[in-house]
Amino acid sequence: MSRAEPPARWRSVLPHLDERLPADRTPRTAGGGSVQVNLPMALVRQSVQLKEYWEIPAEVADAYRAFRPTPLWRAQGFERAVGARVPVYVKYEGGNISGSHKLNTALAQAYYYARAGVRELVSGTGAGQWGTALAAACAMFGMKCTVFMVGGSLRRKPYRGTLMRTLGATVHASPSPLTEVARRAQGDVNSLSLAIGEAVEYAARTEGAAFCIGSGETYSILHQSVIGLEAADQLAGLEASVDAVVGCVGAGSNFGGIALPFFSAAAAAGEKPPLLVAAESSTTPKLTRGTYAYDRTDATGTGPMEAMYTIGSSYPIPDSHSAGLRFHGAAKVLSAMRHRDQIAATAVGQVEALDAGRRFTRGEMVLPAPESGHALAAAARLAGTGAEGNNGLLRAEKGVVVCVSGHGYLDLGAYQQFLDGELSEEAPDPQALRRAVGGLEPVEQLAGAGAVHVR
């Protein structure tokens, strides 16, 4: 069931958090000044103000109507395939030009940057959904677009690059010969952190350009709240009750989008929220095995140091087909909530994720992205015997709603390797994890001097 119109407003979780978020720490330049961030004030306000509802601009709302509301249904075929004890409902975000939820914030960001006078947006992308979404949004708002895509992912999925170029974007495989950060890169050079670092450097030296990011920032999670707002409305229309909400986590916009509106609604009503479960890649286990510390968000080291659950920006993340999940840290809002046990996390390997994707494809006739396979695997665990999480066994007793954040039609190479039995798991090296976070400053508590007040 869906309603005729998408939400008219985004909903922020910030007014419902009891603690203060630790303030970012801005690096200093060689000359002693602070690094300047070229961010429209509208996005700054959306990141810090204790305003619960934000009106969606008319131009963005018009663009949303082309693909929203997105469908929600009970996945009975998937339930049978995994032996679910309770109903599993699916919120599907793969039906737009980008093939993923990323378009929700790409359209909003392009709108605000265009109004601020920016002529070109530059970003890094892992699996390519964000790069595709940004290319589409730039085309819609008459802007140039440059994307640095993780090279290994681009080689596996060249048609992602083709689609971005068709939409008018310039695409570079990362590491590229264009930036100093790529020339200095050592160790793992096939990372999203490096691609983002290249984009930051390129945008800083290009007139009329600005770097933008699609996942971990508080404003991007706000824009994604349309997912959870619609899902709650659609579940009510079906007279369905769930006690668990699941999404996969790279930096956090997909999970935040589906889960945080449920948290906000419960907090506003003085009720206990559902179990909110972040499904991460076992190759990048920041929420289940990481450290809550200040870490950098990109490979240049010029971006702000944020309080996050991290495995270290220098950690050589093992290669996998879930490139969209291969980011070393989780969003600061989600990290703060994880620190207070307001969200839970479970790690899933790529073989289990692709197996869940295969079962979902056969049961529901929809092919999910490998990233979404992690969420489906976690949902299957919750609806079955339970999932091992960061704080014990996680189980649903009423029902599960899971966000399938994108389609897998450009990921068929991953499914081919899975079906041919060619995929394996590479567990993180515990010693390497310890080394990667060894020099980071732990976040001792959420409240503290200079923290941002969120209540």
- For 189-221, give the secondary structure using H, E and C: CCCHHHHHHHHHHHHHCCCCEEECCCCCCHHHH
* DSSP code at position 64: H
**What are the C-alpha distances in Å from 84 to residues 1, 11, 370, 388?**
22, 31, 21, 16
pLDDT tens string 84-141: 999 999 999 999 999 999 999 999 999 999 999 999 999 999 889 999 999 999 999 9
422 with 291, same domain: the answer is yes
What pLDDT is attached to residue 322? 72
For the four alpha carbons of 61, 45, 265 and 133, in that order, the dihedral sign comes to positive
pLDDT of the residue at 444: 78
Structural contact between residues 7 and 61, judged by C-beta atoms closer than 8 angstroms: no
Residue 279 and residue 137 share a domain: no
Tell whether 5 is covered by a domain.
Answer: no
Is there a single domain that holds both residue 111 and residue 146? yes
Give the domain extent around 145: 103-214
For 288-316, the pLDDT digits (tens) are: 999 999 998 876 666 689 999 999 988 88
Q: Distance between CA atoms of 245 and 261, rounded to whole angstroms?
A: 10
In the predicted structure, residue 186 carries a pLDDT above the cut 70: no
Same domain for 244 and 171? no
Q: Is residue 38 one of the residues assigned to a domain?
A: no
Q: Is residue 19 part of a domain?
A: no
What is the CA 452 to chain-centroid distance, rounded? 22
For helices 253-269 and 225-237, angle between their N-to-C axes, nearest 10 degrees? 60
DSSP state of 453: P
Residue 179 belongs to a domain: yes
Mean local confidence (pLDDT), 228-249: 97
Residues 139, 229 within the same domain: no
Residues 225, 209 share a domain: no
Digit-coded pLDDT (tens) for 46-63 = 999 999 999 999 999 999
Domains identified in the chain, total number: 2
Q: Give the model's pLDDT for residue 2.
A: 45
Whether 300 is covered by a domain: the verdict is yes
Q: 9-37 in b/e burial notation, b at 16+ Cβ within 10 A?
A: ebbbbbbbbebbbbbbeeeeeeeeeeeee
pLDDT of residue 37: 53
Is 35 among the domain residues?
no
Residue 275 dihedral angles phi and psi, to the nearest 5°: -70, 120
Together in a domain, 291 and 362: yes
pLDDT category at 35 given cuts 50, 70, 90 is: very low
Non-local (6+) Cβ contacts of 165 within 8 A are 171
Same domain, 168 and 295: no
**Residue 443 lies inside a defined structural domain of this protein:** no
Residues 128 and 244 in one domain: no
Domain boundary (150, 181, 214) is at 214
Task: Look up residue 84 and give its two tokens.
Answer: 């679910």
The pLDDT score that the predictor gives to residue 129 is 92
Q: Determine what percent of the chain falls in helix, strand and coil, rounding each to the nearest 5.
A: 40, 20, 40
Claim to verify: residue 154 and residue 179 sit in the same structural domain: yes
Distance separating alpha carbons of residues 334 and 340, to the nearest angstrom = 10
At 446, is the pLDDT very low, low, confident or very high (cuts 50, 70, 90)? low
Structural tokens at position 117: 């006078």
pLDDT band of 38, cuts 50, 70, 90: confident
* Cβ-contact 123, 147 below 8 angstroms: yes
Query: Of 427, 232, 213, 200, which Cα lies nearest the Cα of 332?
Result: 213
pLDDT band at 242 (very low <50, low <70, confident <90, very high): very high
Nearest-10 Cα torsion for 418, 419, 420, 424? 20
Q: In angstroms, how far is the first alpha carbon of the chain from the final one?
A: 35
Q: Is the pLDDT of residue 27 over 70?
A: no
* CATH value at residue 341: 3.40.50.1100
Question: Are residues 225 and 210 both part of a single domain?
Answer: no
The pLDDT of 376-390, averaged and rounded, is 93
**pLDDT of 36 higher than 50:** no
Residues of the chain above pLDDT 70, percent: 92
254 band by pLDDT with thresholds 50, 70 and 90: very high
Confidence of residue 30 (pLDDT cuts 50, 70, 90): very low
**In the structure encoding, which two tokens stand for residue 383, read together?**
């609806």
CA dihedral 293, 250, 284, 432 (to 10 degrees): -40
- Among 214, 235, 268, the domain boundary falls at 214
Establish if 121 belongs to a structural domain.
yes
**Does pLDDT of 154 surpass 60?**
yes
User: Are 70 and 197 within one domain?
Assistant: no
Which of 62, 427, 377 lies closest to 369 in space, CA to CA?
377
Where does a domain end: 214, 234, 258? 214
